[in-house]
Amino acid sequence: MAAVAANPSATAEDPEPQREAVPGLESQWRQIENGESGRERPLRAGESWFLVEQHWYRQWEVYVQGGEQDSSTFPGCINNAKLFEDQINWCLKKGLVKGEDYVLLPSAAWHFLVGWYGLEQGQPPIECKVVELRGTQKVEVYPVELLLVQHSDMGTPHSAQFSQIDSIDLVLRTAREKFLVRPEKETRLWVKNSQGSFERLCNTRVTVLDAALKSGQLVVMEIRSKDGAWPSAQPQAGNNASKEDEDFQGQPGICGLTNLGNTCFMNSALQCLSNVPQLTEYFLKNRYLEELNFCNPLGMKGEIAEAYADLVKQAWSGNHRSIVPRVFKTKVGHFASQFLGYQQHDSQELLSFLLDGLHEDLNRIKKKEYVELCDAAGRPDHEVAQEAWQNHKRRNDSVIVDTFHGLFKSTLVCPDCGNVSVTFDPFCYLSVPLPVRHKRVMEVFFVSMDPRRKPEQHRLVVPQKGKISDLCVALAKHTGVSPERMMVADVFSHRFYKIYQLEESLSGILDRDDIFIYEVSGRSAICENSREDVVLPIYLRERTPARDYNNSYYGLMLFGHPLLVSVPRDRLSWDSLYHILLYRLSRYVTRPSLDDEDDGNEKANMAAKDSIPKPGHLAACSSQNLGPEQAGPSSGVPGGRRAPVNNSPGPSHWPPRARRKHLFTLQTVNSNGTSDRSNFNEDTHGVSSSSQPYIAIDWEPEMKKRYYNEVEAEGYVKHDCVGYVLKKAPVRLRECIELFTNMETLEKENPWFCPSCKQPQLATKKLDLWKLPETLIIHLKRFSYSRFSREKLDTLVEFPLRDLDFSEFVKAQNESASEVYKYDLIAVSNHYGGLRDGHYTAFACNKDSGQWHYFDDSTVLPVNENEIESKAAYVLFYQRQDVARRAQPQPDSSDPLAPPACGQPPNSEFMDVN
């Protein structure tokens, strides 16, 4: 490092006794200018060079080149006074130029001159270090002078000089020494940039040059508080502790996390991970500081690891009842945009991201080498497995790998040539499926053809992968109506969203859909000359006041439940249809008296006249022209065996309507229930206006108020089957693991390319466990997603708290150590509710006390062990028994200890949700 000597008197005082025998002038010239010790030799990084004042050196050159030792040109003692600002602090002048103000001499040449001529008394030597800057050797004349301050005392700077090749760690150690920081205290550095803001000096292994530090910059040292928080982070993290909580001292690790808004998924995952003993000890003992990887392109520059470490230190300080994880949430959103904002997410997805982020931030491999994956090719399994694990460790070596990574054995068999491919792949957690039940419970409303019967609500048990026909068969057992006389429809917003065909799958119906099953005549028309019945979709509309709500409705608004009405083909006249509909509505529509019919208003007559269908509106079409029904708000009635209005007669067959329709008028509409016939031309399903007439019953407000009973129209009864509950037998965790390791056939969307056949094959695949980690994470796949549906499986999975034995599943057996296959539960991430409005909590066993606690955001309660197993269990954390035991013995399962005032966790049936 370039600097003057710290103790000048030790090097310059009384130089005379140290003088060597002075060689001849020519010899002096050769030793100083040329040769191995001369100033013309190349620079070497790390060696010392010295500054000599230019005037003195030129005088020396004149002297030695003159050839007379007794000449008047004798230079005298080396005098560098012109290079110093003053002769008290001996600070080097700024802006000195090589060749004009000074010359540089290597250490040997400097010591020769001092030995021959001496150094002016009291002056220190000016020593400079040779540094390598971006591949170039350079003598560093001016070191970087930094101003060191404490975060708690920004007004008292201390000056310190550093070489550009000094590490930031040396700057930190120098600051700790200057400010007398105790060894157990944790510190970090900030630097004030040219914009006046402060930036973290995260990587202490980089040099002053790499950190772009300049002389005069302010470097702030910050000391972590006893509660685990950094003082600079307090405004961002929030001072959540009130005055009475400032001196709080509780059990380390028993600390809640504030819900920032739908962040319960994050809190649940963090509480589980925080209670993995070996990982938490790794952070509490600062072992992570030596392994932070700031140059990993796959990592997050160490920021995720540091943010998680700060969270762990606060939670395990024992000084907080709860903390606000805002800084951690911000970091996660910065590096994983899917977690930005405050939408609800999946705790297992957050856990997967966090484990991967921590691994890459703490990866001990700074430069990953290319590793070629090799197939077994007939070699013994243990040899291939060992090679696979070593290859994995050559690129991935971190505390996450040490704690959570295991090894799969994957076996693929080609169905054509029988080629067997065996590979070994690492895993971080097991995602095990739940046995899928083969039955499904669906709620429907049955609408009878008998107008006196109210709609009936039924709860039907149907095959999970059944068809619409299965739904009709199940309903027939309750009603006695033949499935051939049923039509199934999805009703949404007073119109038919979709009318199903019998061959369609039930997977297209969601649990939240309103499904109506209508009884229709069993004499549906198919052929053109058939004289059987046709089925008409019927909508109810009310004429609104003059104010127009929407142009497409022409002042008419839909209301009530639509109907599917069977009409004999020989009665397809407006007058007959009016009386048929009046009969079907007779339960909640009062028939007018004879006097009422005679006093019918003219407005109704005019509306009826306008409602006469135009040519082609109810025209016939062949059954084969009716394509399959597609989902959508404009869906029509499906074609096929019971197509509505199939082969209906043309308008010439419709007798003129009666001139008076006192209660309502009839109007042909499209599937949306609007009278705008131009919409029919935009039907994406190819159903023309002539083939799909929908009939609307239009009511005047006064007539509807007088004759239509809305309360009675909305009424329905519950069938006895509504009380039926499909019993769900509990599932053991062992069954899920067995299902995970079962052989399966690859799907068409994901074939395997057989190297022998040289083509994609639907091979059989089997996964086996080969090597298990210290901490095993088991993810229960409760959420089921398909093309048509999404559901959560709330099956109770029975899992042991102790002695979970994997010996029968692990293929690489170790006979001498049975404990390597046995695990004890240490944490559970819970999910309550459904897909849209779920809530996450956690159970965790404290590593110090052995006591189980329930974590519900900022609330923490002790719990008994018999409360941990529930239908909400989602992610399980197991610790291997051969790992170091907890400090406190676990409470006995037969008599779990819990303080009497701790309370119980909320019942899952009444869990509050976000």
Distance, in Å, from the CA atom of 214 to the CA atom of 208, rounded to the nearest integer, reads 8
What is the rounded end-to-end Cα distance, in angstroms, of the chain?
60
Treating both helix axes as pointing N-terminal to C-terminal, what angle do 326-335 and 347-361 enclose, rounded to 10 degrees?
80
Distance, in Å, from the CA atom of 256 to the CA atom of 276, rounded to the nearest integer, reads 16
Distance, in Å, from the CA atom of 567 to the CA atom of 564, rounded to the nearest integer, reads 10
Amino acid identity for residue 57 in this structure: Y
CA 820, 826, 829, 832: dihedral to nearest 10 degrees? 120
- Beta-strand runs (E) in 201-351: 218-223, 256-257, 322-323
Treating both helix axes as pointing N-terminal to C-terminal, what angle do 264-274 and 326-335 enclose, rounded to 10 degrees?
100
Amino acid identity for residue 473 in this structure: V
> Under a CB-based contact definition with an 8 Å cutoff, are residues 128 and 110 in contact?
no
Distance, in Å, from the CA atom of 796 to the CA atom of 908, rounded to the nearest integer, reads 12
Catalytic residue among 128, 264, 736, 845: 264
Cα separations (Å) of 757 from 421, 720, 754, 761, 814?
13, 59, 5, 9, 37
Distance, in Å, from the CA atom of 149 to the CA atom of 652, rounded to the nearest integer, reads 99
- For residue 9 the two structure tokens come to 């008197």
Length of the chain: 914
Catalytic residue among 320, 458, 561, 839: 839
Q: Pick from 560, 516, 601: which is nearest to 697 by CA?
A: 560
Distance, in Å, from the CA atom of 349 to the CA atom of 46, rounded to the nearest integer, reads 50
Distance, in Å, from the CA atom of 600 to the CA atom of 578, rounded to the nearest integer, reads 15
- For residue 428 the two structure tokens come to 């971080």
- Beta-strand runs (E) in 151-291: 153-162, 187-192, 198-200, 218-223, 256-257
Cα separations (Å) of 717 from 471, 476, 494?
19, 17, 20
Distance, in Å, from the CA atom of 481 to the CA atom of 448, rounded to the nearest integer, reads 9
Catalytic site residue 839? yes
Treating both helix axes as pointing N-terminal to C-terminal, what angle do 347-361 and 303-315 enclose, rounded to 10 degrees?
110
Distance, in Å, from the CA atom of 534 to the CA atom of 564, rounded to the nearest integer, reads 10
Q: Pick from 327, 326, 349: which is nearest to 338 by CA?
A: 349
The full DSSP string for 687-737 is --TTT--EEEEEE-HHHHHHHB-HHHHH--EE-GGGG-------EEHHHHH
Distance, in Å, from the CA atom of 396 to the CA atom of 364, rounded to the nearest integer, reads 8
- Beta-strand runs (E) in 305-350: 322-323
Per DSSP, the three-state class of 231 is: helix
Q: Which residues contact 484 (CB under 8 A, 6 or more apart)?
A: 522
Q: Pick from 437, 462, 429: which is nearest to 730 by CA?
A: 437
- Pairing, β 218-223 against β 144-150: parallel
The 3-state secondary structure of 419-451, one letter per residue: CEEEEEEEECCEEEECCCCCEEEEEEEEECCCC
Catalytic site residue 382? no
Distance, in Å, from the CA atom of 460 to the CA atom of 437, rounded to the nearest integer, reads 15
- Pairing, β 822-832 against β 873-880: antiparallel
- For residue 658 the two structure tokens come to 């009666």
Q: Pick from 232, 254, 259, 231: which is nearest to 326 by CA?
A: 259
> Under a CB-based contact definition with an 8 Å cutoff, are residues 884 and 277 in contact?
yes
Q: How many CB atoms lie within 10 A of CB 249?
A: 9
Element (H, E) at 391: helix 381-395
Instruction: List active site positions.
Output: 264, 839
